[in-house]
Chains A and B, each alone.
Chain A
Amino acid sequence: MDAHVQTIDLNAYYGAIPALKNVNLEIPKNQITVIMGPSGCGKTTLLKTINRFLELTDGTRISGKVLIDGEDIYGQGVDVTEIRKKAGLLAQRPYPLPMSIYENVAYGLRIHNMKHGRELDQAVEHHLREAGLWEEVKDRLRSPATGLSIGQQQRLCLARGLAVEPELLLGDEPTSALDPISAQHIEQRLLDLKNEYTIVLVTHILRQAKRLADYVVFMYLGEVVESGPARQVFESPQQERTRAYLEGQF
């Protein structure tokens, strides 16, 4: 298996409380990896270690390694903004930036000084298409992003994340705030995108996991109980706790 992200003896703490315990994982390239488990099991914490978001919370601590393409992202001299550029994020709720639709997508490109003028316009269009939003907003690119419906906003956030050309796409229950149709929209996008990006998705919806996952990680109380190809885990779980969870006993 071709591992894109790898964690080695990863531990995370909120103050003195451990949130992740000795996590050793390999996340395969260009597949959808779904991290599932009951709430409070550390799945969002694990996701946050991959784009170094955990350190934004006061009092958090980490030990162990997280490698992206074999490089330790917590190593010396690593530029955190480069890491975050590499790993796009789709949050629980869409947070459009307080600017126009166009500027939202162009934001990362401008920050990283990647594209200008005509090229920028093309990039914005390309990524809005990628997120399946172009047809709906092409006539009002200059209007504020907050005017979009919440489902459209989430796709805008997807376009914004894709614009800086990440390798990874991290989704933290990205459909939990959306209506069923918008959620379906996002899921379809993710399936379309998995050939080009490595996607890591946190969800507590079992059916969503089954619909999307190529590779599954099951967590419980900060530990990885079981991980493996989706079919294997769903059809013949090796661990008792995984089986119990899949049967809905949590």
Chain B
Amino acid sequence: MSEQSYKQPVEILLVEDNPNDEELTLRALKKHNLANHIQVVRDGAQALDYVFCEGEYADLEMADLPKVILLDLKLPKVSGLEVLERIKSDLHTQAIPVVVLTSSDRNHDIEKSYNLGVNSYIVKPVDFEQFTESVRQIGLYWLLLNQPIE
């Protein structure tokens, strides 16, 4: 992502290490005109840096937090569950809706995510049509329908 793109308010933070899944997700969002300002990060550590304005994102301001975070669970460095825990236990960031978008349908992951305060848990379907539909509904719901804290 270019320098310029994250100077504009970011609507979606996509945390995804698999480039294929990233491309498919972005395509699905673009198809439904939901991909205006998307920031993609590739691992849990980067995601935390972005959300807490640290490391390479130190010049960001906390006020420019994303409207929704799409979070994969199996991530390099810091796992998705740890990222979720950090976000939901910090007063500044706990109000950001976090949608887990993962291939895992293990009960353990689902329970743990809800215990940590996840807002939605979506299992990525293998079928691309279903996948596109899921992503569309996520974007529609969290960006357009959901009323965040002002």
A and B interact: no
